[in-house]
Each structure stands twice: as C-alpha cells, then as structure tokens.
Amino acid sequence: MSLELTILGSHTPRMCYEDKVPEFQKELVAAMHRASERLYAVRPEVLVLVSTHWVASFNHYIDATPVHEGVLTAMECPDLISNLHYRYPGDNALARALVEAGRAEGLPVIAVEDPTYVWDYGSVVPLRYLTPKADLPVINMTVCLTASLEETYRLGQIIGRVLREQPKRAVFLASGALAHNILRGPERKPTPMEQSMEDHFVRLVLEGDLAQAWAILPQFSQLARVEAGGRHVATWLGVMGDTAFRGEYLGWGQSSGSGNPVIVMHPQGA
Ligand SMILES: [Fe+2]
C-alpha cells in the first residue's frame, strides 16, 4: 500500500502567518504542527490535496503543473493574506494519472498545467504548517459545485485506488472546516447543536466507522453547513474507501462560527 496517511486539516486565514495567530487559534496551530510530524513520520513522497477554496463550477480540476509558484493575495480576505510568495514542487505524471483514471470512469476531470494559475489560500495555508520547507511534491484539486456528494465520493475512491496502486508513498489532505455556518466575529464558535453534530461526526471517523460517517455526511453537511457542502470531506472519505483506518485527533479551533478539527488517519496495521 502506498497511501500512507490522510489528514483533515485547517486553512483559516488568520493562521497564515504564525506570528500573527490570535490566542484562540493557537491550539489549532499546534495541531497543524503535530500533523506535520505525523506526515513526515511516514516518509512521504507526494501529497495530494483537495481545497474548499479552489471552487470549480462544472469540472473537477487537478493541478498537474510541474512547479507551483506564485504570489497569493487572498481574494476573500486581502487584508489577512497579501503578497504571499509560495513555491512547491508538483508531480506531473501522477497528476495526469489521476486525471486519466477519473476520465476513464466517465467523470469530467481536467488537468491544469499552467504556471500562471495562482493557488487559493485553502491550498497554501495548511502547507505552510504541514510542509514548512516546501520540499514535498504537491498535487491539488478542486471541489466542484455541480458535482453531488456521491460523485465527489466516487472521484475520491478513484484517487484512493490510484494512490494505492502507484509506488510513491502518498498522503492525502482535505483542507477545510466541518461545521461552517459562518458569522462575523473570528473568535465565534459553532452553535451547540452544530458542535454536537460535528462532534458526533468526528467520533465516527476516529472510531474508524467511515461507512457511517459517509452515511450521515449529506444531512450533517446540510444542517451544520459543512464547508463546500461537505465535498472535501466526501473526497477524503472516498480516498479512504473501504480500507480500515485508525483515527488520531490532534486538536481543534474555531474561526468565525466554523469548527476546524485536525485529524490524521492511519491505515490500520501501519
Ligand atoms: Fe475555508
């Protein structure tokens, strides 16, 4: 098996610059550092990530650019993330293999190979913690708004299959929040009911009951307004599929009414 680990991680914009992180998100930052330790412990060779801030309307895009390089000023919050230079290696061959596998199953998956494409902050922010030396090849992909959760899960399954069948030691990251009924006020938490639903979902994942987590995801996504309609979570669960995983909870933080757990999932027996 060469899918070595999966991660649910956060990208809240206030943690982009570690020296500016507010007090209430310090635990979240510590959790992301712990996730980085787990990541490097499996000696990864490639990281595939889905970001809730790379939003596509009709197609699933996978970034096959050999080197991801650019300057990011976040469209949603240019006051928080501005003039951020990034450079990460890519993996053209594996990205193209993912695209081909999706297309072979009839899904509208398109490769992007364009050095002028500028990444979203949902891709850049978690990598600043997970791969601080920017030394790990990265392939990122979209959430597609016209894709149902079922289609998104199916694409996740395809990606999981390809990652298991290829020889590189791969890690998959889902970058996004769970409860996401966002409000003004960065320090605000989800409502008690939203938090209860999120906690229940997280418990299922940590217990390795991924089938039940997938079964409740549509309603959970609707009621707690999970970020991107839960599509990053559907991709994440699809990547893990029927394989047994054990979960490890690393921490949590709120951001403007959203809930941001950091979870790593280890293939069982690993
Ligand atoms: Fe977000």
Confidence of residue 270 (pLDDT cuts 50, 70, 90): low
**C-alpha of residue 206 to centroid of ligand 1, in Å:** 22
All structural domains of the chain, each given as residue ranges with its CATH number in brackets, are: 3-267 (3.40.830.10)
Predicted confidence at residue 22, as pLDDT, reads 98
CB atoms within 10 A of CB 30: 16
| Percent of the chain whose predicted confidence (pLDDT) is above 90 | 99
Distance 227 CA to ligand 1 centre (A): 7
Angle between helices 231-240 and 149-165 (to 10 degrees): 40
Q: Tell me the per-residue pLDDT of 193-228, one tens digit each, with 9 for 90 and over.
A: 999 999 999 999 999 999 999 999 999 999 999 999
Tell me which residue of 133, 173, 169 sits closest to 52, measured CA to CA: 173
The Å distance, Cα 165 to ligand 1 centre, comes to: 31
**What is the pLDDT averaged over residues 141-155?**
98
Q: In 3D, which of 270, 165, 131 has the Cα closest to residue 140? A: 131
Using the mean position of ligand 1's atoms as its centre, give its distance from the Cα of residue 100 in Å.
Answer: 28
Distance 176 CA to ligand 1 centre (A): 5
- Cα–Cα distance for residue pair 203/201, rounded to 1 Å: 5
Average pLDDT over residues 131-143: 98
CA 265 – ligand 1 centroid, Å: 21
Residue 225's pLDDT is: 98
> How close is the Cα of 95 to the center of ligand 1, in Å?
24
Indicate the pairing of strand 170-175 with strand 46-56: parallel
Q: Is the pLDDT of residue 107 over 70?
A: yes
pLDDT digits (tens, 9 = 90+) for 15-46: 999 999 999 999 999 999 999 999 999 999 99
Q: Is the pTM of this model over 0.85?
A: yes
Give the type of residue at 242: D
Q: Chain-wide mean pLDDT for the chain? A: 97
CA distance linking residue 27 with residue 9, whole number of Å? 13
Distance from the alpha carbon of residue 67 to the mean position of ligand 1, in angstroms: 24
Q: State whether residue 43 is helix, strand or coil.
A: coil
Ligand 1 centre distance from Cα of residue 158 (Å) = 25
CA of 54 to the centre of ligand 1 (A): 10
